[in-house]
Amino acid sequence: DVKQRRLSEENEAAKLTASNEADTATKVKSMLSRPHTMRFVSDLNTAELFCAKHVAVSRLAALLGGHSEFSQADLVALIGAPKKTSASGMWSRLKTNLKKKDGGGVGGGAGGGGNGGGGGGKDRMRTATFGVPLETLIERQGVETDLGAHGKQKLQVPQFFDLLLNTLKSMDLAVEGIFRKNGNIRRLREVADSVDKDYSRVDLKKDTPVQIAALLKKFLRELPEPLIPFRMRRLVLAIAALPAPRERMDAFRYAAILMPQANRDMLNVLMTFLNWVATFCHVDEQSGSKMDIFNLSTVITPNILYADVKEPTRGDRDDAFSYEACSVIQQLMEAGEYMWMLPDAVINFLRENSSEFVEGVSELNTKELLRRCERQIHQPVPASSSGLHRALSETES
């Protein structure tokens, strides 16, 4: 009786597993076979983004081959996949992501602020906004924003961050030195403390544009890990050293695909917003912020792209690396929405391989995807009709 019961339980478990696998396979097939009308990275679903990351790895390895110490293995590590990826491992990750998309959404809404109280230690961390990991903030107060460069799928950012930018949008951004001036330090601390207790109760419009801009910099600076993560810093600096403008911009776009989604969405919104802020640099002969893209990148870079304190000191090279970091942010700002659009190679790869994946979804693993990417990289990629692409080509010649 015991043996029969065990056999019966094992059979039921096997049926359930097979059913779950079949259900996941159906969803993935549906994902990969939909019409490819996407234009932005945010338009990609889970399976498409996984494929796009492998295209990015393959293309970056080719672009950086003669200019840096990056190997394909270093780039694969940025996907978050193990060196040897089995089909079952791929299935496991896709099922986890599908569950998150189907029902495990993030919090949000106007009442998504802290729960009040906010004493020291653990109580503060339950409601805090400053100094909290970005992933935690997204889980706690993530909202879809109308800001940033995106297609049908909006970007997701912490609600307080969205509130800061929308408050600034309603203010006079032509005030001289906005984002350069530090504001009132004491007032910054007071507002930050109030935000940590319950950000939904704080009226940011009581402060000046300079003060809100300083609060935004403080919020970015106090993230436990910079907006451009430590593990991505060496990559973007290597890209900045590429000599050809078009190759450099393509590489930045591939690097963005490899970023964690929370970081990519927030960086997208921030760069797009600051690109717009720069238009108030010179309003007329008598007014203007005097903060063009170069000046804005200079003051914002130390808050979002910097070295880990654990990295060995570079001595005299620190200033050079700071300049290179500013150059990275300046280029991301200048590119505008083009920076966040899908590279042609990604769109072509998804189009060319979607039918094959539908026939054999179990082939979705890192080794197979990279093999297909290598095969594609030797094929000519149709030239983009983008104005920026043409401009970059003219710059090279």
pLDDT over 70 (residue 70): yes
Name beta bridge partners: 143. 157
Q: What is the pLDDT of residue 129?
A: 95
Q: What is the pLDDT of residue 353?
A: 75
Q: What is the pLDDT of residue 349?
A: 86
CB of 258 within 8 A of CB of 232? yes
- Identify residue 318 by its one-letter amino acid code: D
Average pLDDT of the segment spanning 116-121: 45
The pair phi, psi for residue 353, each rounded to 5°, is -110, -10
Higher pLDDT, 79 or 169: 169
Predicted TM-score (pTM) of the model is 0.76
Q: Which of 64-68, 259-263, 272-276 has the lowest mean pLDDT?
A: 64-68
Domains of the chain: 34-105+225-396 (1.10.555), 121-221 (1.10.555.10)
The pair phi, psi for residue 56, each rounded to 5°, is -60, -45
Q: What is the pLDDT of residue 242?
A: 92
Kindly state the tokens that stand for 325. Answer: 């970091």
Average pLDDT of the segment spanning 262-268: 98
At residue 286 the predicted structure's pLDDT band, cuts being 50, 70 and 90, is confident
CA dist., res. 193 & res. 141, Å (int): 17
pLDDT over 70 (residue 361): no
At residue 19 the predicted structure's pLDDT band, cuts being 50, 70 and 90, is low
CB of 266 within 8 A of CB of 161? yes
pLDDT over 60 (residue 120): no
CA dist., res. 156 & res. 336, Å (int): 18
At residue 357 the predicted structure's pLDDT band, cuts being 50, 70 and 90, is low
Give the C-alpha distances (Å, rounded to integers) separating 108 from 211, 266, 274, 393: 26, 16, 24, 43
Q: What is the pLDDT of residue 116?
A: 40
Smallest Cα–Cα separation from 261: which of 36, 53, 38?
53
Count of CB atoms situated within 10 Å of the CB of 348: 17
Q: Which of 7-16, 99-108, 118-127, 138-147 has the lowest mean pLDDT?
A: 99-108
CB of 252 within 8 A of CB of 60? no
At residue 309 the predicted structure's pLDDT band, cuts being 50, 70 and 90, is confident
Q: Name the most confidently modeled range: 73-77, 198-202, 293-297, 378-382.
A: 293-297
Q: Which of 101-115, 133-147, 295-309, 362-376 has the lowest mean pLDDT?
A: 101-115
CA dist., res. 248 & res. 331, Å (int): 10
Angle at 353 between CA 352 and CA 359, to 5 degrees: 135
Average of per-residue pLDDT values in the chain:
79
CA dist., res. 116 & res. 124, Å (int): 9
Average pLDDT of the segment spanning 342-367: 72
Could you give the percent of the chain with pLDDT greater than 90? Answer: 52
